[in-house]
Structure 1
């Protein structure tokens, strides 16, 4: 893979252009890495009326329960003061939306199980599990290369 760097004050903003004959796994990794540079590394979450900075990499899933957005880590579950669609925009590409009310960290997935009705049971490393919705199956399969 060749790398060319062109630095000039005439450019108003930084821009990265990837030229490739096809979207290979290597190119995809470069794209994901570059996109993750602008992502937040921490989110603010509440637990027992105290405010915590949660490292994004420790979040297993983000979901809605009782009209509140919750972030689950392997230790505890925090309440977030953002909407789920905002979390989708903030979180890095290692997170995937699996239903209208839930986002899962791909790195936190332990294993998957296909159900007889066409859904996917997603088991996380913290021993919890969840289900995907049919609406998001195509995106999940593409992202996980199933």
Structure 2
């Protein structure tokens, strides 16, 4: 892909032109990225207070008792988004789903224990131990390159 930037003092608003022979997944991804102008914020609730959570600080997001929680700095924040929405939003921040009920931040993983047959034990930076469900083991191995 070639990128060209032209500086024009008479231009009052940025304009983008994409010249291509066909619209493919790469072009659609660029269009989607450029058109989503609203910042994607994650708001967590702790002790009746709403706080903006930084994706880099989130260790894991999990479902329990019909609610969604995020672990951040030894606090458990209640989230109002659905797990699949959070998974889509956080993929670019190195989050990966390890079960139907949990997403983890790969940057907060201390180690993966592959000695168990059929599953993987994950130790996170807050000393939480969790497990990759059998269904997601191939995906995690692919992410890890093993």
Provide, for residues 111-142 of structure 1, a one-character-per-residue CA deviation record: whole Å limited to 9, x for no partner.
11124332100000111110000111111011
Q: Does the CA-based 8 Å contact 2:40-2:89 persist in structure 1? A: no
Q: TM-score, normalised by structure 1?
A: 0.74
In 1, distance between residues paired with 2:57 and 2:41? 10
Q: Which residue of 2 aligns with 1:50?
A: 49
1:61-95 superposed Cα distances (whole Å, 9 cap, x missing partner): 00001110100113311000001011011113300
Q: 1:121 is matched with which residue? A: 121
RMSD of equivalent CA atoms: 2.9
- Cα distance in 2 between the residues matched to 1:114 and 1:58: 26
State the alpha-carbon separation in 1 of the partners of residues 57 and 124 from structure 2.
12
* Alpha carbons of structure 1 residues 74 and 41: separation in structure 2 relative to 1, 3 Å: farther
Larger Rg: 2
Once the two structures are overlaid, the 10-residue window that deviates more, 60-69 or 116-125, is 116-125
2:61 touches 2:102 (CA, 8 Å); kept in 1? yes
Distance 1:52 1:122 in 2: 27
2: distance between equivalents of 1:61 and 1:116?
A: 22
> 2:11 aligned with 1:11, yes or no?
no
**5+ residue gaps, structure 2:** 7-14, 20-25, 27-32
Q: From the superposition, tell whether residues 40 and 111 of structure 1 become closer, same or farther in structure 2 (CA, over 3 Å).
A: farther
